[in-house]
């Protein structure tokens, strides 16, 4: 009987929401727990008119429970040449569901959508906020847009935050019965309900009573754990162009259409290419020469206007103006290499560290960047054309270790970008120092950063000023109090680039004294920052994204004479998650410590959590092991 009553309450609650009863009492207790915001009712309704036009209706009703939920009350919507806003309304309600205010047109602000780096961009956005702080309160917004393109369709993400619960959410797609519409859904228990209404096919997805999610360390990406539906066309229109993205080949054919006849270099640049490369026999050397020519004679400037968001400016434009965005510079690089007799391919990619991977089995616009791949006999060379400093052939964390769409004369093909393993991604550190009788540490710290582990340092050296570098160094190390008194860097180019860092540091009160005892942590800098509570049940898989090897060698000479009272035990672990070892010695008044931690990228089931937690916690504890000394009495 209790189950029946609860089920009836859910149905009644959903009906109340649809009847616009936004009283907070209508929210089940289970949806209030740990939540900052409750999605009372949201709806996305996409009506496909034809391959070039669609109408999108959206409604969202959020109850804001506390200050942390205020950001969800800020309503922002974007528009551009291809997407116009036909109507926008909104209302504010108090905790009882009483309407307090309605959106007034004068209160909706309109802004240029500046992304921080584009020279020109035609996208704009409208924004509104009631600025209510009387919790809980509810905001309701409704919007209708006209989309004069079918290249990019919206994605339905009913639960956009782990601390958002969802009372009810719906996705409806109406498509002509003679139009092939595609979708891919994630973490939903059922397929959509499909009905026929006249010459329309209607797809409906619904979710309700989704409770908040708890963040778990090393959890999978958002797409792996949250409900979602990606929408995609087959045939589509964008401006005066049409295409078919039912396959990756078709998607690539469309990109080729956008790039057609845009690879013609001016005569002076053609002559320069031949002057630089005609006497060079090695193709790799030619690629390196022309990539450096690109870096020295152009710079990245984003221009996103109309179809230009996907169509590159032609090679002559880049040669004349000495700038371009990722599409234009990559297109230009392909043209330079072609003039030198080297085949190169334009590549679309989802760039950025930590980005969700593309769905390789679902052809759709999933990309935010363009780059270049040069296929050679033994290996391919990847070129990041927006960088004026990156080494030839190095992809790094920005575009490495992911799938991308290579576009050649035969259309589009899914390819894998360079992968960097634990033997590539290195931090090797050597520390030599002294500790005086007051516990103050003075040390020389030499660190070798390689491959992906060098990316942040490389970026800092390339673009940050002296003050910024010094500010970062002040926060870089897990030491209570320290100063960096001098620093020096050496950057090493190559397919696996590296940075050598030389520091002089002073750390006051690094060691501590208590009576005759002297306490010192031999492992000075590299401490694992994660500690795991294995008493809680794990829900998600364990995902280790980043392979690396970290090696620290420490030698610290003590001022004065000491005997060892307590020496930490050496640790040696070899597990599926990685390997770890640390050893300690004390000889001739000198403390020695060698630490090595190697992690391989992998994924493990939640059932391995206790074992994985023991591995992590052992490292956490061992990294912070202390030696205890007793000071010898002077004769």
* Per-residue model confidence (pLDDT) at position 516: 86
* Per-residue model confidence (pLDDT) at position 211: 97
What is the tens place of the pLDDT at every residue in 22-31? 999 999 999 9
Examine the domain organization and report whether 154 and 42 are in the same domain. Answer: yes
What is the per-residue burial (b if ≥16 Cβ within 10 Å, else e) of 526-538? bbbeeebeeeeeb
> What CATH number has the domain bearing residue 322?
3.10.620.30
User: In this model, does residue 10 exceed pLDDT 50?
Assistant: no
Contact 59, 66 (CB under 8 A): no
* Per-residue model confidence (pLDDT) at position 631: 83
Within-domain flag for 237: no
Final residue in a domain of this structure, among 231, 265, 293:
231
User: In this model, does residue 82 exceed pLDDT 90?
Assistant: no
User: In this model, does residue 13 exceed pLDDT 50?
Assistant: no
Q: Which one, of 114, 117, 182, lies nearest residue 365 by Cα?
A: 182
Contact 548, 628 (CB under 8 A): no
pTM: 0.90
Q: Where are the alpha helices (DSSP H) in 496-608?
A: none
Cα–Cα distance between 295 and 388 in angstroms, integer? 4
Cα–Cα distance between 194 and 20 in angstroms, integer? 26
What is the tens place of the pLDDT at every residue in 564-590? 999 999 999 999 999 999 999 999 999
Q: What secondary structure letter does DSSP report for 72?
A: G
* Per-residue model confidence (pLDDT) at position 120: 55
Within-domain flag for 202: yes
What is the tens place of the pLDDT at every residue in 372-430? 999 998 889 999 999 999 999 999 999 999 999 999 999 999 999 999 999 999 999 99
Within-domain flag for 134: yes
Give the domain extent around 581.
426-631
Examine the domain organization and report whether 295 and 383 are in the same domain. Answer: yes
The residues that bridge with 332 in the sheet, in sequence order, are none
Within-domain flag for 241: no
Contact 304, 120 (CB under 8 A): yes
Cα–Cα distance between 169 and 186 in angstroms, integer? 15
Within-domain flag for 535: yes
CB atoms within 10 A of CB 585: 15
Within-domain flag for 402: yes
User: How does the average pLDDT of the chain come out, rounded?
Assistant: 92
**Apex CA 499: angle with CA 498 and CA 500, to 5°?**
125
CB atoms within 10 A of CB 466: 8
User: In this model, does residue 119 exceed pLDDT 70?
Assistant: no
Q: Where are the alpha helices (DSSP H) in 185-247?
A: 222-225
Q: Which one, of 143, 157, 161, 158, lies nearest residue 71 by Cα?
A: 161
* Per-residue model confidence (pLDDT) at position 261: 95
Contact 143, 49 (CB under 8 A): no
Total domains, the chain? 3
Within-domain flag for 236: no
Examine the domain organization and report whether 281 and 364 are in the same domain. Answer: yes
What is the per-residue burial (b if ≥16 Cβ within 10 Å, else e) of 228-254? bbbbbbbbbbbbeeebbbeebebbbbb
* Per-residue model confidence (pLDDT) at position 3: 34
Helix (H, G, I), strand (E, B) or coil at 616: helix
Examine the domain organization and report whether 254 and 398 are in the same domain. Answer: yes
Cα–Cα distance between 168 and 156 in angstroms, integer? 13
Provide mean pLDDT across the span 108-129: 73
Examine the domain organization and report whether 257 and 367 are in the same domain. Answer: yes
> What CATH number has the domain bearing residue 449?
2.60.120.1130
Examine the domain organization and report whether 8 and 58 are in the same domain. Answer: yes
């Amino acid at each position: 009987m209790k189950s029946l009553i609860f089920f009836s309450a859910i149905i009644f609650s959903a009906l109340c929401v649809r009847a616009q009863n936004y009283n907070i009492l209508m929210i089940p207790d289970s949806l209030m727990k740990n939540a900052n915001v409750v999605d009372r009712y949201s709806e996305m309704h996409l009506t496909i008119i034809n391959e070039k036009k669609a109408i999108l209706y959206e409604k969202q009703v959020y109850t804001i429970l506390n200050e942390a939920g205020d950001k969800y009350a800020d309503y922002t919507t974007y528009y551009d040449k291809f997407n116009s806003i036909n109507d926008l309304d909104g209302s504010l309600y108090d905790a009882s569901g009483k309407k307090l205010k309605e959106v007034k047109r004068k209160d909706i602000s309109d802004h240029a959508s500046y992304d921080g780096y584009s020279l020109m961009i035609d996208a704009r956005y409208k924004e509104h906020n009631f600025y209510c702080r009387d919790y809980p309160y509810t905001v309701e917004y409704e919007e209708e847009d006209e989309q004069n393109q079918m290249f990019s369709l919206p994605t339905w993400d009913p639960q956009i935050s782990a601390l958002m619960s969802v009372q009810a959410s719906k996705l409806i797609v109406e498509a002509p019965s003679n139009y092939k519409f595609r979708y891919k859904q994630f973490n939903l228990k059922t397929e959509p309900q499909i009905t026929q209404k006249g010459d329309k096919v209607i797809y409906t997805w619904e979710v309700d009573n989704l409770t908040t999610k708890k963040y778990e360390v090393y959890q999978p990406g958002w797409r792996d754990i949250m409900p979602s539906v990606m929408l995609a066309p087959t045939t589509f229109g964008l401006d005066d162009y049409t295409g078919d993205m039912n396959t990756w080949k078709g998607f690539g054919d469309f990109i080729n259409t956008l790039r057609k006849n845009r690879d013609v270099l001016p005569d002076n640049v053609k002559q320069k290419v031949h002057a630089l490369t005609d006497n060079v026999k090695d193709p790799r050397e030619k690629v390196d020469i022309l990539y450096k020519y690109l870096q020295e004679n152009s710079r990245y400037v984003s221009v996103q206007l109309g179809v230009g968001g996907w169509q590159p400016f032609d090679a002559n434009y880049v040669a004349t103006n000495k700038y371009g965005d990722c599409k234009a510079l990559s297109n230009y690089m392909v043209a330079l290499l072609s003039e030198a007799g080297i085949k190169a391919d334009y590549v679309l990619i989802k760039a950025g560290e930590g980005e969700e991977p593309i769905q390789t089995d679902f052809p759709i616009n999933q990309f935010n960047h363009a780059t270049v791949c040069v296929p050679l006999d033994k290996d391919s060379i990847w070129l990041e054309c927006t960088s004026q400093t990156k080494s030839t052939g190095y992809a790094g964390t920005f575009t490495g270790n992911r799938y991308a769409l290579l576009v050649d004369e035969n259309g589009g093909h899914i390819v894998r970008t360079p992968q960097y393993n634990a033997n590539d991604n290195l931090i090797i550190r050597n520390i030599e120092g002294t500790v005086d009788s007051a516990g103050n540490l003075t040390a020389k710290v030499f660190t070798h950063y390689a491959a992906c582990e060098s990316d942040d340092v490389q970026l800092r050296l390339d673009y940050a000023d002296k003050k910024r570098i010094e500010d970062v160094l002040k926060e870089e190390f897990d030491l209570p109090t320290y100063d960096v008194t001098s620093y020096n860097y050496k950057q090493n180019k190559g397919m696996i680039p590296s940075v050598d860092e030389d520091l002089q540091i002073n750390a006051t009160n690094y060691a501590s004294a208590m009576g005759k005892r002297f306490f010192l942590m031999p492992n000075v800098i590299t401490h694992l920052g994660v500690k795991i509570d294995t008493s809680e049940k794990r829900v998600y898989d364990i995902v280790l994204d980043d392979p690396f090897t970290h090696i620290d060698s420490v030698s610290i000479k003590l001022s004065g004479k000491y005997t060892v009272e307590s020496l930490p035990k050496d640790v040696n672990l070899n597990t599926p998650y990685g390997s770890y070892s640390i050893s300690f010695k004390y000889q001739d008044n000198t403390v020695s410590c060698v630490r090595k931690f190697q992690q391989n990228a992998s994924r493990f089931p939640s059932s391995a959590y206790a074992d994985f937690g023991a591995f992590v916690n052992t490292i956490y504890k061992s990294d912070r092991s202390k030696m205890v000394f007793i000071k010898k009495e002077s004769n």
